Structure 1
Amino acid sequence: MSLIQPSTQPKVSQKASGRRNENNKLYANPLPIIFAEEQSSAGVWHKALGLLLGVSLTRVLNPHCEGVFDATTRSVWVTDMKHAMTLWQRGFFGKGDLSRSEPSWLARQINARKQARTGLTSEEVTAKRRAERKQFKLDRAKAMAAAAAEAEAAFREEGRVISTVYSADGTRIIPSAATWKPSQTLPEPPRASSPTESEDEDDNDVPIENVEHLQLTLSEAFFLLWNLDCLSVTHPETGDALSLNQIWCAFQNAHVPSPSLSPNLDPPARRFDNPFLVNYVAYHHYKSLGWVVKNGIKFCVDYLLYKRGPVFSHAEFAIVVCPVYEDPADQESSPFQLQNTSPFSWSWLSTLNRVNAQVQKTLILSYVTIPARSRVPDTVLSSPACFNHYSVREVIVRRFIPARMRD
């Protein structure tokens, strides 16, 4: 009897392993800033002396990215693709406005141009399939007409009844879609072209201009510029860099209906239930715990939590932000209509839980307690120090399936 037991772990292909190693190198840094140690020729003795004197040899590499505030979409646009890829590859911040997640519009356009030169596009493949389907119907109609004429002649002359589908040797007379082959070579579908071939060739030589930008939510942008100091936000009209106080006012005013498209930099009406403050409290809470936080509108939730990022695995938790007023009087006088503040129905909760359970995500209700204005003065809202007065509590919601959970 052999003591070596066969491995039960599934074999990983070399292609998948190579892709995983490439992702580990490309997305190795969880934050845009990098802490790198100085390379000294003195070696260990120089490092020990630095530790003895309390001098750190670690350098902080800050990318200093730039973005433009857009009040209409309540987001910050990073138009420089070098900065955009830095923020995406180091923490998965933002999403491409023309992509599902990673800003890959330019790469897709380049691949589509290569495919147009070497093969058929998706539209041309569809046209080819339609031509084959039309030819199959014509061949089948001819075969059915010939078989019917042969059977009628055999019955009239010899009194025999023969099959109109199979011949005497068992072969099929009328072709099926699975066994049909075109009787003649079908013409190639017309290729999509511009008015002249010369213009089409010239267009292929012109480099494609990247019109995509990285779109950051207000919570992501404020986390990058306040906590990491690696992002600067500029005014969309003047191009001047906004100060932290101006950004603090503009992000809160973005949730107040305003007829002007220009960002409002005036001091906002100080309220603890401003949607920007409530959403950022939940975002900062999970981001500070090491999670990669992404928007969860695809699964009808506010946030999705990833261990490392969407490139490595699917999200494990789905977060629904539920604001809770410490003082009910503040809710009655609030100009904001915050979601999930009133008691929700069990049918809504069951539907939401079922959607996320089908994609193997655990639903978490994140209750953000809004401080009472009677207890905390409004002057605290003049700076981000007001976040210390909020609290976050989580409740995990799971579906009870009697047939599976008896143990």
Structure 2
Amino acid sequence: MPLITPQPRGPGKKKGGSSRRNENNRIYANPLPLIFSAEENRFWTSHTVLGLFGLSGSRVVNPHCEGIFDPYTRSVWVTDSVHSTILWRRGFFGKGTLSRSEPTWLARQINARQNAEKNMVSEQVTANRRAERKQFKLDRARAIAQAAEAAEAAFKEGRVLTVEETGVVIPSAATWKPSRPPPSSSPDQPTSAAVEDQKVDEDIPDNVEHLQLTLQEAFFLLWTLDCLSVIDPDTHAAMSLEEIWQTLQLIHFPLYPSLASDVTNTRFDNPFLINYVVYHHYRSLGWIVRNGIKFCVDYLLYKRGPVFHHAEFALVVCPVYEDEEDRQTCPFDLQNVDPFSWTWLSTVNRVNSQVQKTLVLTYVTIPARSRCQAALLASPACLQYFSIREIVLRRFIPARMRD
């Protein structure tokens, strides 16, 4: 199995912003796992018969990834490192189980063994930045204490010292630079070349990290793009679309798996259906949809992906019943069904405003069971009966909204 390392983000190679941007544009050029390749069909031009009808001879390259369904975590595990890299770099699907987002555990282990400062991943860059910030605060506190001692000693002698006379330079955030320890020249310690040769000989550790897909991401890849196969953990066979569709609904019932064979228990207010409607809606509009639990919301919307820009919108999914009687018989503990309190809404709005995100309340109307028959839930065709409304909330900040 080939070793695929994630995109380096460290400052080891002093590249300009444009070089790093061009590299990201090359690596993350494909917004979806499917690729339309025309290399083998160059003879198809606009002058051919297909070109007259607006068709082309492009070939669709399907990666055909595989994942294992895990009912305990309600997710799909992609254990193949090649498939994990494809799903992440082509649409930012899933999350590394041992990483912040991109699966970088193996790259961090290799960098730690080689003591490499080049090609650092995002977690290592963040750790270095926090260590440097902590060291800066310690150096500044130490310099202030030294200046205070010198000023106090001069005050006891009846004179006043200026900051320049103390000879202590208080570092500032704009001019401070981290000090690096000099290399050791002791003959007892091995040279850097010997250490490098020793570490190269070490075996590469096994990659124990896998990519974890949410149920919404997995079904979008399977049903909409047809580029993912879900494996049953018991039979180790690929699950059919009907089996997956029923399993993803029944898994949210409190008595699962005792209801696994009873399809009549499926409902339109199933949490999987509500969240998938929102996920499919924004994915079909071209947005990169990621989990938003870090900012107290359900989803985050990226224009191109977390590698390029921060999320622009934060979504809160709000289920709304078309028939109030369906709410009384709901067996699920749906979030945000009751009206919000002003304290909660103001808190969430303030949190997202401080990180430059616009809060969006996404209302999903659940069709009434009296109007739609339960047999419609046997296939994804029932999704057309849901409707979505959006309300954008902006926090009024006088300092920013004077104009």
TM-score bracket relative to the smaller structure = 0.7 to 0.9
The CA distance in 2 between the partners of 1:376 and 1:18, in whole Å, is: 55
The CA distance in 2 between the partners of 1:91 and 1:363, in whole Å, is: 23
1:26 aligns with 2:39: no
Q: 1:52: Cα distance to partner? A: 4.9
The secondary structure found in structure 2 opposite 1:205 is coil
Among 229, 233, 253, the alignment partner of 2:230 is: 233
Structure 2 residue identity aligned to 1:72: Y
1:205 aligns with 2:202: yes
For 1:216, the equivalent position in structure 2 comes to 213
The CA distance in 1 between the partners of 2:340 and 2:117, in whole Å, is: 55
User: Could you list the per-position Cα deviations for residues 57-114 of structure 1 after superposition, in whole angstroms to 9, with x for gaps in the alignment?
Assistant: 1111100000000111111000001001000110000110111111011001111111
Among 349, 353, 367, the alignment partner of 1:353 is: 349
The secondary structure found in structure 2 opposite 1:331 is helix
The CA distance in 2 between the partners of 1:90 and 1:271, in whole Å, is: 33
For 1:247, the equivalent position in structure 2 comes to 244
Among 374, 393, 397, the alignment partner of 1:401 is: 397
Structure 2 residue identity aligned to 1:89: R
Structure 2 residue identity aligned to 1:80: D
With 358-367 and 36-45 compared, the bigger mean Cα shift is at 36-45
Q: Which runs of 5+ in 1 are unaligned?
A: 1-12, 141-147, 149-161, 180-184, 189-200
Q: 1:210: Cα distance to partner? A: 0.4
Within 5 Å, which residues of 2 pair with 1:132-211? Answer: 205-211=202-208
**Cα 1:291–1:259, aligned 2, differ >3 Å: closer, same or farther?**
closer
For 2:69, the equivalent position in structure 1 comes to 69
CA contact (8 A) 1:76 1:221 kept: yes
CA contact (8 A) 1:106 1:208 kept: yes
Percentage of pairs with the same residue: 60
CA contact (8 A) 2:45 2:56 kept: no
User: Could you list the per-position Cα deviations for residues 263-316 of structure 1 after superposition, in whole angstroms to 9, with x for gaps in the alignment?
Assistant: 956636121000000000010111111100000000000000000000000000
The secondary structure found in structure 2 opposite 1:301 is coil
For 2:58, the equivalent position in structure 1 comes to 58
Structure 2 residue identity aligned to 1:20: R
Q: 1:257: Cα distance to partner? A: 2.8
User: Could you list the per-position Cα deviations for residues 206-240 of structure 1 after superposition, in whole angstroms to 9, with x for gaps in the alignment?
Assistant: 22100000010000000000000000000113211
Structure 2 residue identity aligned to 1:328: E
Q: TM-score, normalised by structure 2?
A: 0.75
Q: 1:406: Cα distance to partner? A: 4.8
CA contact (8 A) 1:69 1:75 kept: yes
With 319-328 and 267-276 compared, the bigger mean Cα shift is at 267-276
The CA distance in 1 between the partners of 2:92 and 2:290, in whole Å, is: 8
The secondary structure found in structure 1 opposite 2:266 is coil
Within 5 Å, which residues of 2 pair with 1:5-404? Answer: 15-40=16-41, 42=43, 44=45, 48-52=48-52, 56-115=56-115, 205-258=202-255, 264=260, 267=263, 269-402=265-398, 404=400
Q: TM-score, normalised by structure 1?
A: 0.74
**Cα 1:289–1:112, aligned 2, differ >3 Å: closer, same or farther?**
same
CA contact (8 A) 1:27 1:90 kept: yes
**Cα 1:367–1:42, aligned 2, differ >3 Å: closer, same or farther?**
closer
Q: 1:358: Cα distance to partner? A: 0.1
CA contact (8 A) 1:36 1:61 kept: yes
CA contact (8 A) 1:253 1:268 kept: no
CA contact (8 A) 1:63 1:230 kept: yes
The CA distance in 2 between the partners of 1:42 and 1:255, in whole Å, is: 51
The CA distance in 2 between the partners of 1:18 and 1:214, in whole Å, is: 28
The secondary structure found in structure 1 opposite 2:300 is strand
Alpha-carbon RMSD? 3.9
Structure 1 residue identity aligned to 2:362: S
The CA distance in 2 between the partners of 1:363 and 1:178, in whole Å, is: 41
The secondary structure found in structure 1 opposite 2:361 is strand
CA contact (8 A) 2:350 2:395 kept: yes
The CA distance in 2 between the partners of 1:176 and 1:26, in whole Å, is: 48
The CA distance in 2 between the partners of 1:41 and 1:396, in whole Å, is: 46
Quick check: which has more Rg, 1 or 2? 1
Q: 1:254: Cα distance to partner? A: 1.9
Structure 1 residue identity aligned to 2:280: H
The CA distance in 1 between the partners of 2:347 and 2:199, in whole Å, is: 54
Q: 1:249: Cα distance to partner? A: 1.2
Q: 1:401: Cα distance to partner? A: 3.0
The CA distance in 2 between the partners of 1:371 and 1:208, in whole Å, is: 51
**Cα 1:400–1:177, aligned 2, differ >3 Å: closer, same or farther?**
closer
**Cα 1:43–1:361, aligned 2, differ >3 Å: closer, same or farther?**
closer
Structure 2 residue identity aligned to 1:256: F
The CA distance in 1 between the partners of 2:71 and 2:228, in whole Å, is: 17
The secondary structure found in structure 1 opposite 2:263 is coil
**Cα 1:65–1:41, aligned 2, differ >3 Å: closer, same or farther?**
closer
The secondary structure found in structure 2 opposite 1:225 is helix
